[in-house]
């Protein structure tokens, strides 16, 4: 035991694995013993976690700041409505929403990838606006006023609530776990290289582009799922709501507050945001003023977010994506 060696797990991450797995099991069993009001709240929170993780995947790992993810959220939402209209089970529409949003994102990427930095951000926003404006032109889905999802009335309310909850939980596990696995893959390695050394990675050219494209498509699919869940929960689709740019504001807030470029940050950010939303929403637009101001301050003074503050720059990783060198002495313990 004298050589230094390279490890993935830290002691915290091993503990975390021991906590995360039982936690998911407990959460999965929740509908059997918790009231419906609790699971409904958690559906909202889970959707936010999915959105935050997707935005973090884009910006924190892919280096792409999008202000247009609500476009894919809206597409996911409308996929549920269309599935309902053609008589499909709305729950079946959740994976389809991911597929549709991902498929739309692929050609979109070829357009918006021509823009960089801030212009990429607004470009994605324009695309989301185009989706919204095209959607409101379609009378069959209710035009500008939207429509209700009726197919769920076949389910008993308690069962419906539970299934929506399980969908949301599954989406959360898939989103957070998916980002975690992705960042441990070869693609994750390429993305880290791009983030750390953009100019050097530029020489890889095509590979960088395709890595970013995969991230863009996956993030869109995730936002589509979140949109589908939000609609299943509210049973109503309104274009101005699901395509609203406030979703981007929320995503940015959650990720910046929680900690950009970490798996844990967006989860923490989503919980904080959710709590603030519950506490401050009676204060109307003041609560958004506070959110905006906090985001500005975090971007200026706490670049690593709450997770960065919590870990105080130490080597704490609940979800180990990178490798760490263990010094010989430490390795012998």
Partner 1 sequence: MTWVNAVVQGLLLGGVYALYACGLSLVFGVLRIVNLAHGDLTVLAAFLALVVGQALGVHPLLTLLVVVPALAAAGYALQHAVLFPALRGGELAPLLVTFGLSVVLQNLLLEAFSADTRSLPAGTLGTAGLALTDLLSVGWLAVLTLGVAVAVLVGLQLLISRTAIGRAMRATSDDPETAQLMGLDDRKVYAVATAIAFATIAVAGVFSGMRGTFTPTLGPQLLIFAFEAVIIGGLGSLWGTLVGGLVLGVAQTVGAQIQPSYGVLAGHLVFLAVLAARPGGILRRAERR
Residues that bind partner 1 (CB under 8 A): 59, 65, 67, 111, 114-115, 117-119, 121-123, 125-127, 129-130, 133-134, 136-137, 245, 249, 252, 256, 260, 284-286, 288-289, 291-296, 298-300, 303
Report the 10 Å Cβ neighbour count for 49. Answer: 28
Task: Round to whole Å and give the CA distance between 17 and 319.
Answer: 8
Report the 10 Å Cβ neighbour count for 187. Answer: 18
Nearer to partner 1, 25 or 206 (CB): 206
Smallest separation (angstroms) from partner 1 to the CB of 110: 8
Task: Round to whole Å and give the CA distance between 64 and 222.
Answer: 16
Nearer to partner 1, 19 or 133 (CB): 133
Ramachandran bin of 147, using left for φ above 0, alpha for ψ from -120 to 50, beta for the remaining angles: beta
Smallest separation (angstroms) from partner 1 to the CB of 228: 25
Smallest separation (angstroms) from partner 1 to the CB of 138: 12
Nearer to partner 1, 286 or 323 (CB): 286
Task: Round to whole Å and give the CA distance between 131 and 69.
Answer: 11
Nearer to partner 1, 54 or 169 (CB): 54
- Per the document, the length of the chain is 333
Nearer to partner 1, 89 or 137 (CB): 137
User: Mind giving me the DSSP string for 258-285?
Assistant: H-TT-SHHHHHHHHHHHHHHHHHGGGTH
Nearer to partner 1, 235 or 299 (CB): 299
Smallest separation (angstroms) from partner 1 to the CB of 123: 7
Smallest separation (angstroms) from partner 1 to the CB of 302: 11
In what helix (H) or strand (E) does residue 320 lie, and over which residues does it extend?
none
Structure tokens at 28: 């999965």
Pairing of β 5-7 and β 324-326? antiparallel
Smallest separation (angstroms) from partner 1 to the CB of 276: 13
Task: Round to whole Å and give the CA distance between 226 and 232.
Answer: 10
Determine the 3-state secondary structure of 112 from DSSP. helix
Smallest separation (angstroms) from partner 1 to the CB of 64: 10
> Diameter of the chain by CA atoms?
72
User: Mind giving me the DSSP string for 38-83?
Assistant: HHHHHHHHHHHHHHHHHHHIIIIIT----S-HHHHHHHHHHHHHHH
Nearer to partner 1, 91 or 250 (CB): 250
């Amino acid at each position: 035991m004298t050589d230094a060696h390279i490890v993935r797990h830290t002691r915290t991450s091993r503990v975390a694995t021991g906590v995360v797995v039982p936690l998911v099991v407990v959460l999965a069993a929740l509908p059997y013993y918790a009231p419906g009001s609790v699971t409904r709240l958690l559906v909202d929170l889970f959707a936010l976690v999915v959105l935050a993780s997707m935005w973090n995947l884009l910006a924190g790992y892919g280096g792409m700041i999008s202000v247009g993810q609500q476009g894919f959220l809206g597409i996911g939402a409308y996929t549920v409505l269309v599935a309902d209209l053609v008589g499909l089970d709305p729950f079946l529409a959740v994976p389809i929403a991911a597929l549709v949003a991902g498929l739309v994102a692929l050609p979109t990427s070829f357009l918006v990838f021509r823009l960089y930095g801030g212009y990429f951000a607004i470009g994605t926003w324009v695309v989301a606006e185009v989706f919204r404006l095209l959607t409101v032109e379609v009378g069959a889905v209710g035009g500008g006023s939207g429509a209700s999802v009726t197919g769920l009335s076949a389910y008993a309310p308690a069962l419906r609530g539970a299934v929506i909850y399980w969908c949301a939980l599954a989406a959360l596990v898939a989103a957070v776990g998916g980002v975690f696995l992705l960042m441990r893959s070869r693609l994750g390695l390429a993305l880290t290289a791009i983030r750390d050394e953009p100019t050097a990675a530029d020489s890889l050219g095509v590979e960088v582009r395709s890595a970013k494209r995969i991230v863009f498509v996956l993030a869109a699919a995730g936002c589509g799922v979140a949109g589908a869940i939000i609609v299943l929960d509210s049973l109503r689709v309104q274009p101005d709501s699901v395509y609203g740019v406030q979703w981007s504001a929320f995503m940015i807030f959650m990720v910046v507050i929680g900690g950009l470029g970490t798996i844990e940050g967006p989860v923490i950010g989503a919980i904080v945001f959710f709590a603030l939303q519950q506490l401050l929403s009676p204060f109307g637009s003041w609560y958004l003023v506070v959110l905006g101001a906090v985001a500005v301050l975090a971007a200026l003074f706490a670049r690593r977010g709450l997770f960065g503050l919590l870990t105080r720059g130490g080597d704490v990783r609940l979800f180990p994506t990178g490798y760490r060198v263990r010094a010989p002495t430490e390795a012998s313990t």
